[in-house]
């Protein structure tokens, strides 16, 4: 079975600075997808970024980028130029096979607090 580990329970970051959220995963499958979600205090789950295991380039979406290191089985999220609205819980998740986006395994999350 696959497993996702987020080792940072909480982080402070200064406004306008970049922050890296760690995520490691464990699977013996060659085909998988990696996701990051944001959960603000209001509770909704917001999709941020996706990386497929066969994608050669790191995914980017605006201020979000995914640092994908396949050999190390890591998929760290980088948020550039942090904003106060980035304060939230962030979850790393994965799915086996590219088309199984409805079966996600989540990590325990990292809480980010952006300081003005």
Partner 1 sequence: NAGVTQTPKFQVLKTGQSMTLQCAQDMNHEYMSWYRQDPGMGLRLIHYSVGAGITDQGEVPNGYNVSRSTTEDFPLRLLSAAPSQTSVYFCASVGGGSSYNEQFFGPGTRLTVL
Given candidates 28, 41, 43, 116, which one binds partner 1 under the rule CB under 8 A?
A: 43
Task: Please report where in the chains the tokens 């819980």 appear, as a residue.
Answer: 89
Q: Would you state the structure tokens that stand for residue 3, as one six-digit string? A: 């497993």
**91 binds partner 1, rule: CB under 8 A:** yes
Q: Single out the residue of 19, 23, 38, 109 in contact with partner 1 (rule: CB under 8 A).
A: 109
In total, the chain counts a number of residues equal to 116
DSSP string for 39-67: E-TT---EEEEEEETT-SS--EETTEEEE
If one asks whether residue 64 binds partner 1 (CB under 8 A), the answer comes out as: no
Q: How many residues bind partner 1 (CB under 8 A)?
A: 22
Q: Is 61 helix (H, G, I), strand (E, B) or coil?
A: strand
Strand partners, 65: 60, 78
Characterize the bridge pairing of strands 60-61 and 105-106: unpaired
Nearest of 33, 28, 12 to residue 75 by alpha carbon:
33
For partner 1, the closer CB: 78 or 98: 98
Compare residues 33 and 112 and give the one whose CB is closer to partner 1.
Answer: 33
Q: Note whether 102 binds partner 1 by CB under 8 A.
A: yes
The one among 7, 15, 16, 47 contacting partner 1 by CB under 8 A: 47
- Chain residues binding partner 1 by CB under 8 A are 4, 33, 35, 43-45, 47, 50, 52, 91, 93, 98-99, 101-109
């Amino acid at each position: 079975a696959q497993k996702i580990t987020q080792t940072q329970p909480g982080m402070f970051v200064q406004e306008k600075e970049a922050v890296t959220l760690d995520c490691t995963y464990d699977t013996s499958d060659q085909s998988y997808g990696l996701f990051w979600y944001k959960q603000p205090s209001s509770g909704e789950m917001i999709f941020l970024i996706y990386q497929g295991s066969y994608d050669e380039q790191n995914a980017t979406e605006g201020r979000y980028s995914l640092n994908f290191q396949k050999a190390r089985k890591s998929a760290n999220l980088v948020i550039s130029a942090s904003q106060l609205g980035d304060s939230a819980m962030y979850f790393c998740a994965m799915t086996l096979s590219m088309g199984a986006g409805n079966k996600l395994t989540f990590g325990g999350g990292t809480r980010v607090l952006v300081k003005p």
